[in-house]
Amino acid sequence: MKKIIFATGNQDKMREVREIMSDLDAEILSMGEAGIQIDIVEDGVTFQENARIKAAAVARGLKGEEAVVLADDSGLEVDALNREPGIYSARYLGEGTPYEVKNQTILSRLEGVPKEGRTARFVCAIAAVFPDGESCVSREAMEGYIGWEPAGEHGFGYDPIFYVDAYGCSTAQLPPEVKNQLSHRGKALRAMRQQLVRHGFRQKEGTDGQAEGERLAEA
């Protein structure tokens, strides 16, 4: 079985990754589960650059182990706020600031702004580094708008304030399998999954290239 190491310690993110890529015959580990403890300086100016920086740093720490390293950089762009917080989404208002505070700050900054001025998007770039040194990156987005109050318990981060017109609710109110089908990370992971198959990863028997959550969302 092939091995994938995803460069994160965020368990919510790992849960999404495993759900979306569950049709691959692969062991998927977080950095911690793989025993990799390194500090990574994300000094890129785009989501793609930061994803590549993280993937390359973890790949260097493998010391010859046969594994594909995946890393993502994702964030929220709010058009009325000059696309803030953007690549600084995780560090918005300082390291360790609770997302409840971040979300309320964004809502306060948009006070009085009508719906048409509250457009926003989630962006995700995922980079891969293969054992032979080859690398690639996928970038996808999810369009929506900033609501007027937080809602929902399913998501994390900025999900409670990011609303999707087609469903009339926040991404934190969507069932996980629906969110995975629509989300920026889901789209980027599916694009990356195609690259992994091209590099020899096999799909589990009885699957057709879709993870279980995607099949449920379309049923």
Active site residues: 73
Residue 132's contacts (CB-CB under 8 Å, 6 or more residues apart) are: none
The pairing of beta strand 2-6 with beta strand 68-78 = parallel
Alpha-carbon gap, residue 116 to 11, rounded angstroms:
34
Whether residue 125 contacts residue 46, with contact meaning beta carbons closer than 8 Å, is answered with yes
Q: What is the DSSP letter of 34?
A: T
Whether residue 71 contacts residue 58, with contact meaning beta carbons closer than 8 Å, is answered with yes
The pairing of beta strand 26-30 with beta strand 2-6 = parallel
SS3 for 116?
helix
SS3 for 158?
coil
